[in-house]
Chain A
Amino acid sequence: MKRISTTFAVMAVIVLLFTACGPAATAVAPTAVPVKIGEVTDLGGVNDKSFNALAWKGVSDAIAQLGVDGVFLQSTQQSDYAKNIQQMLTSKEDLIVTVGFLLGVDTATAAKANPTQKFAIVDYTYPDCYPGAVEGKDCGSSTDLTNVRGLAFQTDQAAFLAGYLAAGMTKTGKVASFGGLQIPTVTIFMDGFEAGVKYYNQKHNTSVVALGWDSKAQTGVFVGNFTSTDDGKNTATSLAQEGADIIMPVAGAVGLGSAAYCQTAGTCLIIGVDTDWFVSSNEYASVELSSVQKKIDVAVLKTIQDVVNGKFTGGTVTYALADGGVDLAPFHNFDSQVPQTLKDELTQVRADINSGTVTVANVLAAP
């Protein structure tokens, strides 16, 4: 016994010594601010370098700029979604931000059970029921929910700029995009990209080809997952062999494999999606022309701002190029290579999109 207690004493001292020289960590310092924000992540966790991280960046920005209080709960299992939302309800957060479609049903269920609680769900909107689906089970809600704000993004607008840029930069006259799965959140990027290329062709009377997606026929190249970098490499290889020298992979981590291929082969450039890849995957900076950004952080920050200002509304709120919810990332290393005329044209296109004179649908519908 004596030895055991001695060991404890020694360990206690070690605890104290170690704690004296540890690195600073990123815990949230509680401050006495009335507005409380709680984020519930999906399985990716808060450091996923993607949606969850961006949403948390929005909360963090709000903490810095608006002085709100923010916490997050990470889900590690499917059963955590409902539980974590419940936990946020118990701790009486002013706004509960849930991330991603996996939380769609549980968010709606909790929102209906707690009609005075404000929610925001990232990249998801209500009503979400499809024919034959059972409300509260297969889908969250068949009607708009007034206490849930669905954050939607017009990524096609930014992808339009990317397509225009690609068409202006290509040397082979061929550009390409490909997807992870053929689902609306993916194909919307590819629609915009295709429209951008088409619009460039109209303006310049060129015939740049956009490979990998045909919005009319609704067919294109999809690798079937969002994780295999091998698939990304293989797809980029075949697209490059077909002559594409600028590729936009809309397939999460799969795209990193494509970037790796382009960096080795030297025959293609990459346009990233969701985040600015120059920041998030800087190892491929030498082939990253630009990125189509889905600025979830901006959307979350704006939503929190609305809560703070008492202007929170439910329903679907779409964030677009005009309000900075989506954007084309800076060119970074390629800034000097993009001709000033193209930059000026992009500024004009952006203005036209914002004013509504140019829309993706119209461009695609044009003969």
Chain B
Amino acid sequence: MENVSPPKPAVSENKQGGNSKEKKRNGSKLFQTLLVPVLALLTGFIIGAIVIALSNDAVIASYRNIFRDPGAALAATWSAISVAYGSLFYGSFGSVTEIFHSIQTYYSTGDSKAFLLAIYPFTESLTTVTPYILAGLAVAVGFKCGLFNIGAEGQFGIGALCSAYVGYAMHAPWYIHLPLALLAGAAGGALWGAIPGLLKGLTGAHEVVTTIMMNYVSFRLSDWLLNGPMKASGFRPLTPVIDNSAMLPQFFPDPLRLNWGFIIALAIAFLVYWFLFKTPIGFEIRAVGANPDGARYAGMNIVKNFVLAMTISGALAGLAGAVQVLGVDHWVGQGFSSGYGFDSIAIALLGQSHPLGVVLAALLWGTLRSGATNMQLNAGVPIEIISIIQGLVIVFVAAPAVIRWIYRIRAISTQTTVLTRGWGK
């Protein structure tokens, strides 16, 4: 029975990884982080293609004759999908050759009209992206603190109404009016976020429940405001249009609506990154999000951080509404928020709650949305297909196991990002 082997020296663990090794590890970490979202996107598009083909009469008709003419069926399928995605792409980015030719035209004739028309789709995409960046950041900040802010929708709407009010009711030079209008939007959203934060911190009320309820309060409040105190005149539930001095300046003449809001959104994204990862306050928020017990042990104030994170989250969502009103719409009408807040949850998920990821995800989301108009018109594909693709991408990102299963990727790390904790304690 006894077969004691001589004791061997303990295996010394690799204590200091070499520099190159470190880089390699980081590289593979980046690859790992991007792998699932990218594959999710790809899968979403493939399934989207199936739906596009299925909803195309010509394709269906060609398949009735598949045994007589299989080539035609394949060709019809291919053409349906390529026309749809082609026009989606064109609608999102425009055409490189068109832009190139229009620049030539500009230099030879001095006429910029063609150039503006050529870059219209791309600028329109960036315009669409702007509120998504900010609203996505809002949800991401919540996630970082372990809070699921479903209330971005309501915060967005309140922010929009507040900035619209300052925009039309106040009159001041632009350098006062515009910042004040932006600030009003952020403040309105912040208030709307702070309330669930306080309820969570002080009474333990789950933020999912309270933010949903705050959404309803915001919807009904805006119904009332638009039909009452904030109604322009006559019978239409619209606010008056804001003053010129409160509008975010556009980069190009109409109809190109791209404005400073986009730059603001990028700047805010950087600011959020700095705040979360480079300041002690952000450190606390992340620590509380990752392990509230541990954070409390380390001397952090949990209630304060919950309230702070929800306030910042609300302020960002409110700012998204403000930027949209001050930069694009210039007035607020019924059904104004219509999904920005809910889409932003998806964007935060897709962006893995990292500010850079959120910007990328918002770029993707907005360009898809924007290009869909062209697809709807030129390929006859309903705009809902984009919602289907986006929905699928989110499902796959949220359930990475599905993607790993489809593509037979082994899970390298068992480490999962904690977005929110469960219900109750």
Q: B127 contacts which chain A residues (CB < 8 A)? A: 79
List B residues 44-82 near A (Cβ within 8 Å): 46, 49-50, 53-60, 63, 66, 73-74, 77
One digit per residue, 1 when the CB lies within 8 angstroms of any chain B CB and 0 when it does not, for chain A 6-30 equals 0100010011101111111101111
One digit per residue, 1 when the CB lies within 8 angstroms of any chain A CB and 0 when it does not, for chain B 30-50 equals 000000000000000010011
Q: A132 contacts which chain B residues (CB < 8 A)? A: 233
**Cβ of A29 and Cβ of B406 under 8 Å apart?**
no
Residue from A25, A72, A132 whose CB has the most chain B CB atoms within 10 Å: A25
**Cβ of B334 and Cβ of A87 under 8 Å apart?**
no
**Cβ of B233 and Cβ of A130 under 8 Å apart?**
yes
Q: How far is the CA of A72 from the CA of B74 in the complex (A)?
A: 28
Q: A307 contacts which chain B residues (CB < 8 A)? A: none
Q: Given A16-B77, A130-B234, A181-B227, are A78 and B338 also a contact pair (CB < 8 Å)?
A: yes
Q: A19 contacts which chain B residues (CB < 8 A)? A: 50, 53-54, 59-60, 63, 73, 77
Q: How far is the CA of A79 from the CA of B336 in the complex (A)?
A: 9
Q: How far is the CA of A45 from the CA of B232 in the complex (A)?
A: 25
Q: Given A78-B333, A78-B335, A84-B373, are A22 and B233 also a contact pair (CB < 8 Å)?
A: no
**Cβ of B57 and Cβ of A29 under 8 Å apart?**
yes
Q: Given A3-B407, A102-B238, are A73 and B373 also a contact pair (CB < 8 Å)?
A: yes
Q: A82 contacts which chain B residues (CB < 8 A)? A: 255, 257
Q: How far is the CA of A132 from the CA of B56 in the complex (A)?
A: 50
B339 at the interface (CB under 8 A from A): yes
Q: Given A78-B333, A91-B378, are A15 and B49 also a contact pair (CB < 8 Å)?
A: yes
Q: B331 contacts which chain A residues (CB < 8 A)? A: 105, 137-138
A80 at the interface (CB under 8 A from B): yes
B238 nearest CB across to chain A (Å): 7
**Cβ of A79 and Cβ of B50 under 8 Å apart?**
no
Q: A22 contacts which chain B residues (CB < 8 A)? A: 53-55, 59-60
B331 nearest CB across to chain A (Å): 8
B300 at the interface (CB under 8 A from A): no
B124 at the interface (CB under 8 A from A): yes
A337 nearest CB across to chain B (Å): 37
A259 nearest CB across to chain B (Å): 23
Chain A interface: which of B12-20, B277-285, B322-330, B352-360?
B322-330
Residue of B with least CB distance to A84:
B373
A134 at the interface (CB under 8 A from B): yes
**Cβ of A74 and Cβ of B408 under 8 Å apart?**
no
Q: Given A25-B60, A73-B377, A78-B338, are A15 and B53 also a contact pair (CB < 8 Å)?
A: yes
Q: How far is the CA of A175 from the CA of B117 in the complex (A)?
A: 58
A69 nearest CB across to chain B (Å): 11
**Cβ of A184 and Cβ of B235 under 8 Å apart?**
yes
**Cβ of B374 and Cβ of A87 under 8 Å apart?**
yes
Q: B53 contacts which chain A residues (CB < 8 A)? A: 15, 18-19, 22
**Cβ of B373 and Cβ of A87 under 8 Å apart?**
yes
B376 at the interface (CB under 8 A from A): yes
Q: A224 contacts which chain B residues (CB < 8 A)? A: 227
Chain A's interface size range is: 35 or more
**Cβ of B54 and Cβ of A78 under 8 Å apart?**
no
**Cβ of A74 and Cβ of B241 under 8 Å apart?**
no
B35 nearest CB across to chain A (Å): 11
**A181: contacting residue among B54, B235, B241, B328, CB under 8 A:** B235
Q: B237 contacts which chain A residues (CB < 8 A)? A: 181
List B residues 334-351 near A (Cβ within 8 Å): 334-336, 338-340
**Cβ of A86 and Cβ of B255 under 8 Å apart?**
yes
Q: How far is the CA of A43 from the CA of B338 in the complex (A)?
A: 8
One digit per residue, 1 when the CB lies within 8 angstroms of any chain A CB and 0 when it does not, for chain B 286-329 equals 00000000000000000000000000000000000000100011
A325 at the interface (CB under 8 A from B): no
List A residues 229-260 near B (Cβ within 8 Å): none
**A138: contacting residue among B233, B329, B380, B406, CB under 8 A:** B233
B128 at the interface (CB under 8 A from A): yes
Q: Can you list 9 residue pairs at the A/B interface with Cβ under 8 Å?
A: A4-B407, A11-B46, A14-B50, A18-B53, A102-B238, A130-B234, A131-B233, A133-B233, A184-B235
Residues of A participating in the B interface, judged by any CB pair closer than 8 Å: 3-4, 7, 11, 14-16, 18-25, 27-30, 38, 43, 71-74, 76-80, 82-84, 86-88, 90-91, 101-102, 104-105, 113, 128, 130-134, 137-138, 181, 183-185, 224-225
Other 14 A-B pairs with CB < 8 A, given A71-B380, A90-B117, A104-B236: A7-B407, A19-B53, A19-B73, A19-B77, A24-B57, A27-B57, A80-B373, A82-B257, A88-B377, A91-B377, A130-B233, A133-B232, A138-B232, A183-B235
Residues of B participating in the A interface, judged by any CB pair closer than 8 Å: 46, 49-50, 53-60, 63, 66, 73-74, 77, 117, 120, 124, 127-128, 223, 227, 232-238, 240-241, 254-255, 257, 324, 328-336, 338-340, 369-370, 373-374, 376-378, 380-383, 406-408
